Structure 1
Amino acid sequence: MDDDSTSTPIGVTLISLDKPEEIVFWCKSFNCTEIELRRAVLAIGPSAERVRDHLATHK
């Protein structure tokens, strides 16, 4: 099985910070750092759509 860290994680509507490969995926998708991603999820929850909007307005 290939270890493709850019593949779309299962359940793409929610962000999981438990799996390193998902963190890599979301950071690349949102063009953000892991710290920025974690802060956004902590601030507004795991909704990928809401995190994307949050990061876009807070960069």
Structure 2
Amino acid sequence: MPEEGTSPSGGWEEVYGAMSVSTNAEGDAPTCPDCGEECPRVRVDRYWCPDHGAFTATG
């Protein structure tokens, strides 16, 4: 395994810091428009709420 200094991805933390971007992962799904719970993706643009059924995310 390459060391941090010699790795092609070495220094990514400094690059992200200079770009002022976050490394936090975003959630996979939006929240249900009826109850506000985060819902899993079931198709490309469809999500599923166990209480309210399928919905399409709007941006």
Normalised-by-shorter TM-score class: under 0.3
> TM-score, normalising length from structure 1?
0.20
Between the two structures, name the one with larger relative contact order (CA 8 Å, sep ≥ 6): 1
Higher strand content, 1 or 2: 2
